[in-house]
Amino acid sequence: MNFIERTIGRGKPSVAIVGSTHGDEIIGERVISRLRGLELKQGTVSFISAHPEALKKHVRFIDRDLNRSFPGKKNGVIEEQIAYKLKRHLRRFDVVIDLHTTRSNVGSLIIFTRDTPAMRELLAQVPIKKVALIGSHIFGGHEMVNHAPLGISLEYGPDTNGKSSERAARDIKALLVNLGMVAGRRRRMLKKVMYTVSDRYEVKGKVRPKAGLRNFRLIKKGQAIGSTEEGSLKARYSFYPLFLGKGRYEGTFALAAKTRQIVQL
Ligand SMILES: [Zn+2]
């Protein structure tokens, strides 16, 4: 099993746009088809469908989460094999963009795993205001972008009526304009709201989150956040929740950011 790639243009800079890392998220394929007619004035763009088999079956993964399987194994289960090949392939790109949607309403959000000057430069090229630093202690560093020389994940809310894929295609085009690869006026976004994820907020058992909680809105220590079979749940500490409730992390109430900063890049 392998990933599928279609490349346009030639030379540097080179950008990989990766979709279907999770096979149940079709945003990547939709964005790729929206960008089909893209004309490059310089550089290379590769559209990569990371997990065609999961995509075809409309499942998140076959054996294990591809985005928790890097660096992969040559003879492992299917996702480990894909990760193994992709890691080697992604090395040659200057920038890797990994596309996701989530059932949790996050609007649009950039996820990055290493805070370096090159990363900050890249963040400024993407017209998304909210950014979340998810260090390798959160998921063990097994995410795809953590294994690319310079990579970010873009997370969008549900792609109802194609709104998220339209937005994603626009964001990627703006990035390519900023990188000088597509004609247009360059506009960087230097001011960001940065959430530093410090923890996975775990809760035991099935939780019904309290209505009215919102992603990115501070939950204070002691605040009621939901209920389980054993009774009501109160926040153990103060945090900004990301990927609340309906999100993708089973057993995790939300990702918890203890700090929120306005950053001028
Ligand atoms: Zn995903």
Q: How far is the CA of 19 from the centre of ligand 1 (A)?
A: 9
Q: Give dist(CA 141, CA 131) in Å, integer.
A: 18
Whole-number Å distance, alpha carbon 177 to ligand 1 midpoint, is 25
Mean pLDDT computed over 29-45: 94
Instruction: Give the whole-angstrom CA distance, residue 111 versus residue 10.
Output: 28
Residue type present at position 6? R
What is the average pLDDT across 160-179?
95
User: What is the distance in A from the centroid of ligand 1 to the CA of 207?
Assistant: 22
The least confident of 127-141, 202-216, 245-259 is 245-259
In terms of Cα–Cα distance, which of 195, 203, 201, 176 is closest to 187? 176
Which bin fits 58, alpha (ψ -120 to 50), beta or left (φ > 0)? left
By the 10 Å C-beta count (0-12 exposed, 13-18 middle, 19+ buried), 13 is classed as middle
Ligand 1 midpoint to CA 100 (Å):
4
CA of 240 to the centre of ligand 1 (A): 20
The model's pLDDT over 126-168, given as tens digits with 9 standing for 90+, comes to 999 999 999 999 999 999 999 999 999 999 998 888 899 999 9
C-alpha distances in Å from residue 129, one per residue of 97, 104, 173, 194: 16, 18, 16, 8
Asked if 72 and 82 count as a contact pair (C-beta separation under 8 A), the reply is yes
Query: Is residue 22 predicted with pLDDT exceeding 50?
Result: yes
Q: What is the pLDDT of residue 229?
A: 81
- Across 232-251, b (16+ Cβ under 10 Å) vs e yields ebebeeebbbbbbbebbbee
- Ligand 1 centroid from CA 231, angstroms: 31
Cis peptide before 71 (omega within 30 of 0): yes
What's the CA-to-centroid distance between 235 and ligand 1, angstroms? Answer: 26
Identify the CA nearest to 2 among candidates 49, 69, 64: 49
Whether the pLDDT of residue 263 is over 90: the answer is yes
A 10 A CB-CB count for 70 gives: 23
Give 105: exposed, middle or buried? Use CB within 10 Å, 0-12, 13-18, 19+: middle
The owner of tokens 């890691």 is 87
Is pLDDT above 70 for 250? no
Mind listing the pLDDT tens digit for each residue in 189-208? 999 999 999 999 988 877 88
Q: Phi first, then psi: give them for residue 15, nearest 5 degrees.
A: -125, 130
pLDDT > 90: what percent of the chain? 82
pLDDT of residue 247: 47
Q: What pLDDT is attached to residue 249?
A: 54
pLDDT in tens, 76-104: 999 999 999 999 999 999 999 999 998 88
User: Domains plus CATH for the chain?
Assistant: 4-189 (3.40.630.10), 200-259 (2.40.50)
